[in-house]
Amino acid sequence: MSQQAILSVNSGSSTIKFALYPVQNKTLGPAILSGVLEGLEPGGIICLRLNQQILSADSINSKDEETRFAAALQWLQSQVSLHAGAFEVCAVAHRIVHGGGHFADSCIVTADVLQTLRGYEHLAPLHQPHNLDGVAAFAAAYPGVPQIACFDTGFHATMPETETRFALPLREHEQGVRRYGFHGLSYRFVSHRLTTLSRRASGRALMAHLGNGASLCAMQEGKSIATTMGFSALDGLMMGSRCGQLDPGVILHWLDQGMDRKTIERVLYKESGLLGVSGISADMRTLRASEDPRATAAIAQFTYRVRREAGGLITVMQGLDLLAFTGGIGEHDAQLRADVVRGLSFLGLKLDDAANQSATGDRAMPVHAPDSAVEIWVVPTDEGMIAAQDALTLLL
């Protein structure tokens, strides 16, 4: 008899990240299979990175754009089946960026649920449509297998109205124009992991998810009380190609200059952030390797924004007991961590330089000096595990 497993999926515009978690005695085991299907964007070269191996997809790359996604998904399904051995997929758990005001807890996707979530696509245009297309595609690939929606906004449902409310007319708030917050699956994982590592995790904790998308979250007693992202995934920190916090008057100025909506959306989501400031790349690793002063300026601005927003959240919490870094930049960029901590040293934060240099995101580890007033951790995130765990809970 085949052993059951849950497939966790994060469908994006150009990639599908996935992991397969075995179900053992009503609990999840470590992922037996993980990877990313890349090159799904128009003109991209499709390949599959599977457990550190790269598999080519020449036959799929030769197809026209309309059939590439479906063919790539079918190929992915066959590769998962091939490498999963005796494991049978009993549920597919999907990361869904926006749950709006209706969804905080993970749920089984029905036709009505999918239709409601489609209504939030304009709130996260780079993510939500692809997330939901992935749900539909995997439902077709695995007929009869439950599809589970797990929401990035859900973790922040505990934020008070003083945090979620904009200073706009009440009618706008009642129609859903409010702050939601994102990166919730990542924060849930990091929060849970920290509770097994430090007693201070139940105190005043600041979590920094720093990657191509970046945000901070203030957490007390394990619950989100404030975060830097808001109505959309544009707000807050400077990001890879997203602007972060922006005076809305800039949008009005652009409209007066005759810019249309699609152009504005492209500038805000795809041409700003590290890419916009540097004019070189949205990838922090590329900028670190560059001697161009524009790269240096972009890194400095990114670091400054993290420190600036951190100060606001620390004030909301009335102090700080623990700081945790996660995400692609947070886990791997030791210099960024050092620069952020140095900017917060007036609060008594002190790094252990050797520990900071050795923290490469392969495991959770403390990087604070023995005499630091605040614990500092590097915790690799696993959004897929959280989504798979929610799926298992719904199925039990």
Q: What is the pLDDT of residues 221-258, one digit of tens each?
A: 999 999 999 999 999 999 999 999 999 999 999 999 99
208: CATH? 3.30.420.40
130 marked as part of a ligand binding site: no
What pLDDT does residue 1 have?
57
98 marked as part of a ligand binding site: no
Order of strands across the sheet with 375-378? 223-227, 214-220, 204-210, 322-326, 375-378, 365-366
C-alpha span between 4 and 172 (Å, rounded): 46
Residue 233 inside a domain? The answer is yes
Q: Are residues 223 and 133 in the same domain?
A: no
Within 10 A of 134 (CB to CB), how many other CB atoms are there? 23
C-alpha span between 394 and 390 (Å, rounded): 6
SS3 call for 50: strand
Indicate which residues carry an active-site annotation. Answer: 152
The token duo for 32 is 């037996």
Q: Are residues 220 and 369 in the same domain?
A: yes
Residue 160 inside a domain? The answer is no
95 marked as part of a ligand binding site: yes
Please state the φ and ψ torsions of residue 383, each to the nearest 5 degrees: -65, -35
Residue 209 has pLDDT above 60, yes or no: yes
DSSP 8-state symbol, 88: E
Q: Report pLDDT digits (tens) over 117-174.
A: 999 998 888 789 989 988 998 898 889 999 999 999 999 999 999 999 999 999 999 9
The total domain count for the chain is 2
Q: Are residues 106 and 217 in the same domain?
A: no
Q: Are residues 114 and 217 in the same domain?
A: no
| pLDDT confidence tier of residue 76, bands split at 50, 70 and 90 | confident
Domain that holds residue 131: 3-151
17 marked as part of a ligand binding site: yes
Residue 189 inside a domain? The answer is no
Q: Are residues 43 and 141 in the same domain?
A: yes
Within 10 A of 224 (CB to CB), how many other CB atoms are there? 22
DSSP 8-state symbol, 351: B
Residue 167 inside a domain? The answer is no
What pTM, to 2 d.p., does this model score? 0.92
pLDDT, averaged across the chain: 93
Q: Report pLDDT digits (tens) over 284-337.
A: 999 999 999 999 999 999 999 999 999 999 999 999 999 999 999 999 999 999
Residue 70 has pLDDT above 80, yes or no: no
Residue 157 inside a domain? The answer is no
Residue 334 inside a domain? The answer is yes
Q: Report pLDDT digits (tens) over 4-25.
A: 999 999 987 778 889 999 998 8
242 marked as part of a ligand binding site: no
Within 10 A of 326 (CB to CB), how many other CB atoms are there? 26
What pLDDT does residue 127 have?
85
Residue 161 inside a domain? The answer is no
